[in-house]
Structure 1
């Protein structure tokens, strides 16, 4: 070592790495599981010293502009306002923008946007793909769209440099199907602690512990009509049903949900909620229900558990992967069974000790810092290969 040089000065500092997220509507406070996943993960990575950029769709980011949010660069980019084309066109444009930015990692989320992995590879980008679930099983898609989504899955799992799945079952299935390593990294959970009252209960005429809650987008696989019909049958006198969520595109399904809600006494539509207002809805609910037919990994269900709520979920594979007690599940689509289970749960609330144990279990198993560290392991492995 030359005279006068210390060991620390001689050491080569680790370069500051850059990551771009693509394949989502945007952050912050944009409706959707992938959006919540990226919002929380991006914040953790920024805290770990990474330069983080999220490329979102401009119509979901009217107040962001091209700037920074919590140390994260958020870049709005145009996309057509058409359900079948929005994600694909936006990802195509986003890949070209990423090619100009030259990040260390381009992290694409979901199998639809993964259709553009070949283009990203051709442009010399190092790509990681997260599989958030079998999107081609969603009821809203027709035959052509389903085939395109399956092709996106193939490209994402075969051609990316790194592969992540938010479900252990999906990780196993993808590894077997495509003979490629897929790392299981679950969704995390973070619920804002109840702070000052936001006024949302008074706004919608709600009483603490006297309503059932569901928080989800108005899309067919979430099956809000099943819950509305079960609520009508469960005989919960003095209780209300709160549906927190909305539709991105007006569809026959969203119109059906609104019509059913309007004609069913006790059903309250709050629209999409986030932050302190959503936290207050979770904190004061008597029960959370998720009747969906399709999930990747159910963030809203985890958030309800982290809030200490009793929960009911359909018995699909993604929900059962959480290994909840048997009486926390009901057969998918069985409205009578759901009504009976709801009545039982509302008559037998969790004790404070049970709620506290549930909160602790979820926080330990699904913390965002843990999710970030597992994701960073995938990045580092990708960068050295």
Structure 2
């Protein structure tokens, strides 16, 4: 275990802390690894370290081999790849199991920070191994279309286990925090909402070579960003785009889809087939983060048609770039607080087509919205306070397994 000596607070408003080794588990890796949780950790973890001296906190991220192949340092965060099978149903849970054992018997960590409800299934094991446990809930993954009944059941159990056994629970969405507090009232005082943030990095311009290669012009394309999975609803956007007037403009607008699939699947193959049949639809595949920011800033419209999100970093970064945006009206997107005209009915090709044909597309600037609460620096400070609570706070109440729907009982 780490040294348990209290550290005197430093100047500059840094938090009071204990010397702690924290192991982060539940994501593929950082940086430039595709995924919302991966972007969240790539932005957040170095800033958390900036608010705690090396004598106070060490962060080790256990990544998955295949996404990260070499041990290294990412802005102070030590990253170690651990083997995981490349199978969509087994990858996460198997990696989490081996990562917990590695954290206990090799790293001898004090605190584990689990991300997402799939890894949450092994929260009881983390506690059994003696870890203090911090858990971040990034979204109700059991709502994703790709999962069958058994997988959805297990993901719900992962949510249950993580909330019951964690010392502290963070949710990126306020609606999720409220739902969990209602569902687990005896755990409510350990659940806190801390949002995702957006990068304040000034976007570069799309290079001339890139623009010429894909035949795009600034302000004359729609962009969507996300992995090629059914819950991202790129197929719905393709159908609405083709039915709209945008491809008939002079010059015709393009639809850019940035992102790829983690594993080969029928949905991704169907999107590639549709793109191959339409010159105005461009599948970019995995795109470097700097290129994504540049494409956002030069687009005519950013669209997020998802059926499921936690709190979309891509949407926040599009808003920060000042472009016009259009989001599905799911709770996670409504939590951002945009004007109603910037939302469309989730799952409706007709309503999305109407929005694509509206004067929304012709406006020079996106909606005027206060993004101050999505500041990564403040998010890092709030996360550091939760780390301190998890390390030094009281343990969760004793879990009563017969209470299947209301969490733990003191």
TM, length-normalised to structure 1: 0.91
Gaps in structure 1 of 5+ consecutive residues: 1-7
| Residues 16-68 of structure 1, C-alpha deviations (whole Å, 9 max, x = no match) | 43221100011111000011111111111121233211111010013xx1121
Residue in structure 2 matched with residue 87 of structure 1 by the alignment: 92
Answering whether residue 27 of structure 2 is matched by residue 24 of structure 1, we say yes
Residue in structure 2 matched with residue 58 of structure 1 by the alignment: 65
Residue in structure 2 matched with residue 188 of structure 1 by the alignment: 197
Residue in structure 1 matched with residue 331 of structure 2 by the alignment: 317
Residue in structure 1 matched with residue 291 of structure 2 by the alignment: 277
Answering whether residue 346 of structure 2 is matched by residue 332 of structure 1, we say yes
Root mean square deviation, CA, Å:
1.7
User: Aligned partners of 1:318 and 1:70: how far apart in 2?
Assistant: 30
Counting only pairs closer than 5 Å after superposition, residues 126-205 of structure 1 correspond to structure 2 as 126-179=132-185, 180-181=187-188, 182-190=191-199, 192-195=201-204, 198=207, 199-205=209-215
Higher RCO, Cα 8 Å, sep 6+: 2
Counterpart contact for 1:222–1:292, Cα < 8 Å: yes
| Residues 134-188 of structure 1, C-alpha deviations (whole Å, 9 max, x = no match) | 1011011111111111111111000111111111110011111122131001111
Report how many aligned residue pairs link the two structures: 366
Instruction: Look up the SS of the partner of 1:213 in the other structure.
Output: strand
| Aligned with 2:362 (options 348, 364, 381) | 348
1:224 offset after TM fit, Å?
Answer: 0.5
TM, length-normalised to structure 2: 0.86
Counting only pairs closer than 5 Å after superposition, residues 208-223 of structure 1 correspond to structure 2 as 208-223=218-233
Residue in structure 2 matched with residue 46 of structure 1 by the alignment: 49
Answering whether residue 47 of structure 2 is matched by residue 33 of structure 1, we say no
Counterpart contact for 1:232–1:264, Cα < 8 Å: no
| Residues 290-332 of structure 1, C-alpha deviations (whole Å, 9 max, x = no match) | 1111111111111110111111111111111112101001111
Change in 2 beyond 3 A, CA 1:44/1:288: same
Gaps in structure 2 of 5+ consecutive residues: 1-7, 9-15, 394-410
User: Aligned partners of 2:361 and 2:41: how far apart in 1?
Assistant: 37
Instruction: Look up the SS of the partner of 1:169 in the other structure.
Output: helix
Instruction: Look up the SS of the partner of 2:89 in the other structure.
Output: coil
User: Aligned partners of 1:14 and 1:160: how far apart in 2?
Assistant: 19
Instruction: Look up the SS of the partner of 1:117 in the other structure.
Output: helix
1:256 offset after TM fit, Å?
Answer: 1.1
Answering whether residue 386 of structure 2 is matched by residue 378 of structure 1, we say yes
| Residues 328-377 of structure 1, C-alpha deviations (whole Å, 9 max, x = no match) | 011112112111201225543134xx67x54xx22x12011111111111
User: Aligned partners of 1:249 and 1:378: how far apart in 2?
Assistant: 34
